[in-house]
Structure 1
Amino acid sequence: MKIIKLDAIDSTNTFLRQLSWEQKLDDFTIVIAASQTAGKGQMGTVWDSEKGKNLTFSVFKKISCLENDEGFYISIATSLAIYNALKHFQIPKLTIKWPNDILSENQKICGILIENVIQNSKMTAAIIGIGLNVNQTNFEALPNATSLKQRTGIHFDLDEVMFQIAGQLKKYSELITARSFEILKMEYESLLFRKDKPSTFKDKTGNMFMGFIQGVADDGKLNVLLEDEIMAEFDLKEIKLLY
């Protein structure tokens, strides 16, 4: 495991991708920044973080065993790795909000952004970006956010938390290599936020509707049971689960 520590960078994902173009990277090369000026989240959102208080890092993970349409299993493995790392630190009431936000008591504690590396039409690696709220306690602009310190009252060592996540990520990456997809999927679905509960969704036109989360398809689409026992699949651009 090679670790590159930076004081400030626009985005660790962007930095790591550029580095992968310039040189051959070792598996599990990690870039960690004390501050990100343009941290990225899902659907173009920005990850805002106080300098030196949180974990903002990206992992270069070689992937050669997946087909291009199986990339969601990287998201599943990463979500489970972070979930179990936080469970190790006794963070309460953890769940995974589809597709890969980690919640504690229904508030977001961690976001994940995965960018696949495709060469000659084949997936060869993934750049796994992780933004975890650790010691920050002021979230005035983000009412649905929380941190490890807010949840426990404990001040955490950032390196200790990062190494725990990296260790869990290695463990779950081995399940991907073994193509143990059913094991990964079953564990992931068992931890899904609001699974089997009546939930409100908003579609891309702004219309709201009710449904029950049943699980996910192999390509990562969300399976939702609608009225009249109709099962529908939605991708990230088509639906938003409301709190």
Structure 2
Amino acid sequence: MHIIKLNATDSTNSYLRALSTRNTLADYTIVTAKHQTNGRGQRGTNWESESDKNLMFSIFKNVSFLDFQDNFFISMVTSLALIKTLQQFLIPKLSIKWPNDILSENKKVCGILIENTVKQNAFGGTIIGIGLNVNQTQFNGLPNASSLQLITGTHLNTDELLLNIVSNLRFYFKLLKTNQKTLLKETYEGYLFRKNKPSTFKSLDGNLFTGYIQGVTNSGNIQILLEDEIIAEFELKEITLLY
């Protein structure tokens, strides 16, 4: 495991991606930063974080063993590694808001951004960006955000958290490499936020509808039971799960 520690960068994902174009990266090469000037989240959003209070890092993983159509297992593995880490630090009431936001007590504490390298419909590597709210205590304009310190009342060591996350990533990627896909998928689905509860979704055209989350497909589509007893599948960009 090789760790590159930066005081500041625009985005750890961007830094690691640029590094990968110039060098052959070892598995679990990590870039961390105390401050990101242009952190990125899902759906093109920005990731806001106070300097030197949170854990922001990106990690390179060789996933050439994985079939392209099973790409969402990278997200499952990462989500489960984070859940297991936070359980080890006694963070309560953890869940995964599809596709991979990590919640505690229905508040977002962690976001994940995964960027894959694909050549001729085959995987090379993946860059997993993780932003974990650790010791930040104010989130202006973000009513659904929280941090580990707000939840526990304790100041936590980000280096210790990082080492635990990487250890758990190794554990779950080993399960994936040994084809334990059914176990991973069932475990992931067991943590899904609002699974089997009436939930409100917003479509691309702004329409709201109600349904019950049933699970996900191997490719990451969410499966929702609608009012007419039909289970429909939706891609990430097609709908938004509202709180």
Q: Name 1:209's counterpart in structure 2.
A: 209
Q: How many angstroms does 1:141 deviate by?
A: 2.0
Task: Look up the equivalent residue of 2:35 and give its one-letter code.
Answer: S
Partner SS for 1:194: coil
Partner SS for 2:46: coil
2-structure distance, mates of 1:200, 1:27 = 40
Q: Name 1:195's counterpart in structure 2.
A: 195
Q: How many angstroms does 1:122 deviate by?
A: 1.6
1-structure distance, mates of 2:228, 2:158 = 49
Q: How many angstroms does 1:120 deviate by?
A: 4.0
1-structure distance, mates of 2:113, 2:27 = 18
Task: Look up the equivalent residue of 2:189 and give its one-letter code.
Answer: E
Please say if 1:133 is aligned against 2:133.
yes
Q: How many angstroms does 1:119 deviate by?
A: 3.0
- Residues 1-243 of structure 1 correspond to what in structure 2 (within 5 A)? 1-243=1-243
Partner SS for 1:185: helix
Measured on the aligned residues, the alpha-carbon RMSD in Å equals 0.7
Q: CA deviation digits over 1:43-63, x for unaligned, max 9?
A: 000000001000010000011
1-structure distance, mates of 2:149, 2:210 = 34
Partner SS for 1:35: strand
Q: How many angstroms does 1:178 deviate by?
A: 0.9
2-structure distance, mates of 1:119, 1:62 = 13
2-structure distance, mates of 1:141, 1:213 = 28
Structure 1 stretches of 4+ with a deviation exceeding 3 A read: none
Task: Look up the equivalent residue of 1:170 and give its one-letter code.
Answer: R
Q: CA deviation digits over 1:45-89, x for unaligned, max 9?
A: 000000100001000001111121111000000000001100100
1-structure distance, mates of 2:171, 2:118 = 24
Scaled by the length of structure 1, the TM-score of the pair is 0.99
Partner SS for 1:128: strand
Partner SS for 1:18: helix
1-structure distance, mates of 2:98, 2:87 = 18
Partner SS for 2:118: strand
1-structure distance, mates of 2:220, 2:110 = 19
1-structure distance, mates of 2:86, 2:14 = 26
Task: Look up the equivalent residue of 1:215 and give its one-letter code.
Answer: G
Q: How many residues of Structure 1 are paired with residues of Structure 2 in the alignment?
A: 243
Q: CA deviation digits over 1:165-199, x for unaligned, max 9?
A: 11100100101111211010000000000000011
Q: How many angstroms does 1:42 deviate by?
A: 0.3
1-structure distance, mates of 2:173, 2:47 = 25
Q: CA deviation digits over 1:124-152, x for unaligned, max 9?
A: 11100000000000012211100000000
Equivalent pairs: percent with the same residue?
56
1-structure distance, mates of 2:199, 2:119 = 40
Scaled by the length of structure 2, the TM-score of the pair is 0.99
